[in-house]
Amino acid sequence: MSKIDALIDNKIIQNIVVWIFLFLAMYIMIQADDKVSMTLGVIAFLCPPIYINNLLILPLFFKGRKVLASMLVIVNLLVFAAVGTYLTVYLSDTFEWRMFYNLIGILLLTFSFSSSIKIARDSFERRHQNKQAELELLKGQLNPHFLFNTLNNLYGLSVIKSDALPSLMLKLSDLLRYSLYETSEKLVPLAKEIHYLENYIALEKIRLEDKVKVDFHISGAADTVKIAPMLLIVFVENAFKYLGKNNKEEENVLIHLEISETSLIFRCENSIGTLKNEPEDLITKNKGIGVQNAKKRLVLLYPNRHRLTNKETANQYSVCLTIEV
């Protein structure tokens, strides 16, 4: 979180800004010889009832105790209207009922204004907390999903006692080290994600024993760009998921990454051949946990800043993801 964001989220600063705004508004409206003193006096008078309403009474509405909360609002209103009327009479040495009614109107207006600000702020904080919780949950679901698929690969190689197993385990160790220890931040350098993809592709090449043609191409500088961790791997993993099962057709994977100062364009294509007719292996249904989570993370992290499209032909499936960075 940047220093500016921390200042914006600071509740004390938020309250100070609101009171400064009220001071300026009242300073313009109040007609008196000493406008500053009069305005400060009004602010000092309004502080107690407003904070009593916001901190003690308003939470009762959200706890379902609406009758009690409504009664306390009325009591708070009448008590401070009476106190304000008494102070006004003491200072002016005159009494009129309209003083009392005017104070009730002023208090109602300030209660409505302050309550609206508090409700809006609390609602924003709740949505932010829910979003963070969902992101953590999605990330937590994604890593075990990837691990499960990779362990399946390890098991397959161990059954046939492949010589590629030790090298595969080293690659897996490097992948897990990154996913466990370097993805705690909201954004990570794109260069690290690219290195992660390179390791994963190398791992898959060992599993497939070079039976699949892989074209991994990057254009542009990745040093200054950051991206959500473990986002692109989902689509690359899906591209390799069903390869190596069809010995009759040539299989290939094409992964292109175009990087500019304002956007990142990721394209991933893979052959599907006759496998696309298998009911449980339909990639385009996107029933996997990884793809669904990637879509949700994109909506949460890049709202109105991304475009995800997919296309299927007779022998090929492709995904194109554009992100404004």
CATH 3.30.565.10 is held by the domain 165-324: yes
Work out the mean pLDDT of the chain and round it to a whole number.
81
- The residues, any chain, with a CB within 8 Å of residue 308's CB and separated by 6 or more, are 295, 298, 319, 320, 321, 322
**What confidence score (pLDDT) does residue 140 get?**
60
Instruction: Band the pLDDT of 287: cuts 50, 70, 90.
Output: very low
First to last CA, the chain: 17
Query: What does the domain layout of the chain look like in residue ranges?
Result: 3-125, 165-324
Is pLDDT at 255 greater than 90 in this prediction?
yes
Q: What tens digit of pLDDT does each residue of 96-108 get?
A: 888 888 888 888 8
Instruction: Band the pLDDT of 245: cuts 50, 70, 90.
Output: low
Q: Environment class of residue 27 by beta-carbon count within 10 Å: exposed (0-12), middle (13-18) or buried (19+)?
A: middle
Is pLDDT at 73 greater than 70 in this prediction?
yes
